[in-house]
Amino acid sequence: MDFKNLDEYYNYLENDTNSDYLDNREYIIKLRNISEDEKIKKLLSYELFFSDFSIVEGKQIPFCQLDLNIYPNLELFDDNFDYIKTRANSVKNQKYKAKYYHLLWLSPRKHIDFAKQAIESYLLLLQNTSFTEDENLQCYSFGNYYKNLFVLCQTVNYKKDEVIQYFVSLLESDKLNDFTKYSLMEFIVEHGKKINSSITQIFFDYSKKILEKLDSSVLESYLKLLVILSQKLELPTNEFHEKLGDYHILQLKTEKIQGFIAHRYYTNALEEYKKANNKEKIEQTAVLLEQAKKTIDLKKVFFEVKNEKINEASNIWWDFTKKKIDYLMKNGNDKEIYEYLILEQLFPKADVLREEIRPVMLDLVYIITFDINKNVSKNKSGVINPYSVYINNFSINHIGLVFLKGIKSGKISFESLIEYLKNNSWYGQDFTYLDTNSEPQGFNWIELLSPSLQSFFVQTEIDIKTNSHNQQGYILAIDSLVLKFEGLLREFSRKIGAQTIEIKENSTEERIKFDKLLDNEKLRALIPEDDIAFFKFLFMSDGMNLRNNIAHCFFTTKNYTSTIMLLLIVALLRLGNYKICSN
């Protein structure tokens, strides 16, 4: 549609009966391009700026924003908003009058009269609209206008009660659909200032009354609203949490959902039943959740990043590393090799553990992250951790080559490692003592560590000779050393005077958790930050979570590899690289 002059465009706006504002950009720009009068061009520019502003929940939203560049911004109205004020006074269409006045209220020329005029116009606009609940676009626009109106009323304390009562009068009518009614009830309760409890009670009674009639598409929203309303009215919420749990289970049955989506529904249902304190349904759902894990098929997808510079740098690093290890094997003894594993920069810096990389392509999808036991992980959001990438691509290859060449040369063995730990780590100290009955107590850590290490070397030598990798053969070694590591950490903490137990509110003693041990200031003063980060990566949810996965038997045979044991031995060497005095 083309306009010959500005008056034609004004008339077009006056006669606009659409539920929402028209997209007038094209028309305004065409008219501005054909106009020869510079004053008219200026007015059309103001009209374009006005058209390109949206007002959502009482806030002005520009047409677009690229970095720090925002279009439009209020500074473009360089006439002190005189044009917008003139248009607000002259336009008859309440939809546009409300927007002109609302924009003036949001501008530097703000005056309470502008807000009041906008309120009057919004109210007239809504009261004079005529449509039914089946007209979704009309309902949607009504909701947007009402939210703008409500925010203005609350802000300037003008016609607050009248505006709320107007909406209350629509609850039992067929003017608005169920979703719009829910949306506005929630908005009023969440954004209203000192809303009378009688209004909250009306919303509660209405929502509860229509629950059985609601379509499944809005049932969840109303149940969540009833939880909020119950909390506002200080009423029990159990009933609605239980119904929310039932809703999630029903969705599973009616839509025949399986796989990881079913897992999500069961998890949501379980959380709601817990809030409802329904022990029977908690147990039933937990069983169903465990069964549903069998249907989750988490396939691995590998992709290769081809970058000549990266590949070239990687090749240079690998060539240099191999030469360095070859020199170490030829000229170093076993003690120097173990010290190399302790002192060499094998792992990333500590701050890398907290870094996250989220590829742009992941912005286009909804991501659910599972742990090894196919539980949804709330601590991770599908991002790539550079620490893990470095460990898998560089650290493991580096350590693996040291052990392979060291074992083949005879310089790394069970005997040489045990001898090194006895003579060069605090593990070799005698932590045993005689109790009052003259019976030995305490730990001989070398004896406790030996079975794990011996099992590892036996299996590794078999694998090297047979050119194979028997994962089952590493189960004993890994299970034992993972659990022993926590004991070593607690022993070390006790000997340096770091706290290892805490008193709970019921006066019972409880061992301090693994992560808190690593965060103790006394321990951090002795152990380098990079080593602490490595321990967290190995044993906590920041990375491999070995402590949890081993203790709860989440590892299957395929998860046990010689690689894990190599990382554990390096952790063992690094934790033992201190001298402490026994009491």
pLDDT at 259: 57
Distance CA 527, CA 46 (A): 65
- Classify each residue of 202-234 as buried b or exposed e, where b means 16 or more C-beta atoms within 10 Å of its C-beta: bbbebbbebeeebeeebbbbbbebbbbbbebee
| Mean pLDDT of all residues in 503-511 | 69
Q: What angle do CA 561, 571, 529 make, to 5 degrees?
A: 130
| Mean pLDDT of all residues in 194-215 | 94
Share of the chain above pLDDT 70, in %: 88
Average pLDDT over the chain reads 87
Distance CA 144, CA 21 (A): 11
Q: ω into residue 359 within 30 of 0, thus cis?
A: no
Q: How confident is the model at residue 376 (pLDDT cuts 50, 70, 90)?
A: low
Distance CA 152, CA 193 (A): 12
Q: How confident is the model at residue 209 (pLDDT cuts 50, 70, 90)?
A: very high
Whether pLDDT at 234 is above 90? yes
- The rounded Cα 443 to chain-centroid distance in angstroms is 42
**Each residue of 383-433: pLDDT tens digit?**
557 888 888 888 999 999 999 999 999 999 999 999 999 999 999 888 777
Among 62-71, 76-85, 172-181, 402-411, the range scoring the smallest mean pLDDT is 62-71
Q: Which two tokens stand for residue 215?
A: 């379509």
pTM (2 decimals)? 0.61
Whether pLDDT at 490 is above 70? yes
Distance CA 569, CA 576 (A): 10
Structural Rg of the chain based on CA atoms: 35
Residue 277, judged by CB atoms within 10 A of its CB (0-12, 13-18, 19+), counts as exposed
Phi, psi values for residue 352, rounded to 5°: -70, -30
Q: Look-up: residue for tokens 């909020």?
A: 228
Among 83, 105, 87, 104, CA closest to 96: 87
Find the Cα–Cα–Cα–Cα dihedral 485, 486, 492, 497, rounded to 10°.
Answer: 170
Q: How confident is the model at residue 299 (pLDDT cuts 50, 70, 90)?
A: low
